[in-house]
Amino acid sequence: TICNLMSIIGKRFEDAGLKDLCIESGVIAEGSIQNVLTGKMYNRGVRVHKCIYEALMRLAWKQFALWVNEVHPNKLPAVHALEEQVAEVANDISQRSHDAILQSTGFGEVHRLWDAFLDHLRSSNGEQSRFWMSYVDIVNNILLALIRASREGNWLLHLHAIRAMIPWCFPYDKVNYARYLPVYLAEMINLQTDQPDVHQGLMAGHFSVQLSEGSTFGRLPVDQTTEVTINKDTKTAGGVTNFSLKTGAVNRFYMTAEYRCSFLTQLKSMVQLNQTMFHHGELQAPRIAKDEKAVSAVQNLVDSWNNPFAENQNVVSISTAK
């Protein structure tokens, strides 16, 4: 579903400057960009859209202070105070530092102003601003929401993201998804009445799998779990396709695959190869530095071309200033 969504994003924004932006900023290599835009590279595609989303939000924040100064000048000190507070904990990724910001006295006021500013970008700041805010909304409300729903086991968020995705399937010729996602959504909404036990299990998060007990926000969708467990353990040194050309041998290989995988899992557990510490790859220092470099490159490139959130922009393509 996420790969299908990324192909929709690619169709909508590729010729509006997204492809040029990805290549010239160095976020993705030119040889891989087409597969990313068509949704054929999941991990790279998700990373690309995260980086561009973050860069666009930073560009919007640059305009936010100017907008507050013009519309609510008495609220500008609260914005600057929040910026200083965030800068103080910029290198601290602990939950305590984030909670301190969220619970600060000025955060609620600035958050309400920020929501009003985003509505301004969507409705009254010109065609270009409205167009690229649609990218922000798709990535934030659907792409990242689907990932978060799986990571947290949040069934209601999953259904909310599916509902938001359905209208985009029709104009971009995703015939099968346009046909069956509404049916899927209707069945899942009625599940509480038709299959209450199944609904209870899904509400408990059983549509995704927690592999590591010590890794919060680390649940995986079932198909990805199969890839990193059974499918990974069944790979032979020469690859499954080179294992044998005999039908009987291949059938026996796959009929016993799940048992061999369970033996291998138990063996790893006995020799403590499955002892994992709490960490996420995206929170490691090298990955943070790499992503920060990518986001800064995208931000600087867009800013040098044409900030889509500057006042009253009426050109759709962000690369027209090239």
The per-type count for the chain, helices as H runs and strands as E runs, is: 18, 2
Cβ neighbors of 4 (< 8 A, separation 6 or more) are 39, 169, 174, 177
Two tokens, residue 15: 């010729």
The CB density around residue 228, as the number of other CB atoms within 10 Å, is 12
pLDDT (0 to 100) of residue 224: 84
End-to-end CA distance of the chain: 34
Cβ neighbors of 150 (< 8 A, separation 6 or more) are 158, 207, 208, 219, 220, 221
* 297: pLDDT strictly greater than 90: yes
Residue of higher predicted confidence among 87 and 292: 292
Q: Which of 96-100, 199-203, 304-308 has the highest mean pLDDT?
A: 199-203
* 289: pLDDT strictly greater than 80: yes
pLDDT per position as a tens digit, 216-234: 778 888 888 888 777 777 7
pLDDT (0 to 100) of residue 320: 46
* 239: pLDDT strictly greater than 60: no
Q: What is the mean pLDDT of residues 297-319?
A: 76
Residue of higher predicted confidence among 211 and 192: 192
pLDDT (0 to 100) of residue 312: 61
* 282: pLDDT strictly greater than 90: no
* 253: pLDDT strictly greater than 80: no
Residue of higher predicted confidence among 227 and 304: 304
Single pTM value for the model: 0.84
Q: Quick one: CA dihedral 29, 33, 34, 39, positive or negative? A: positive
Q: Which of 76-80, 137-141, 233-237, 275-279 has the highest mean pLDDT?
A: 137-141
CB contact at 8 A, 26 and 187: no
pLDDT per position as a tens digit, 142-169: 999 999 999 999 999 999 999 999 999 9
CB contact at 8 A, 146 and 161: yes
pLDDT (0 to 100) of residue 274: 57
E strands, 63-173, are: none
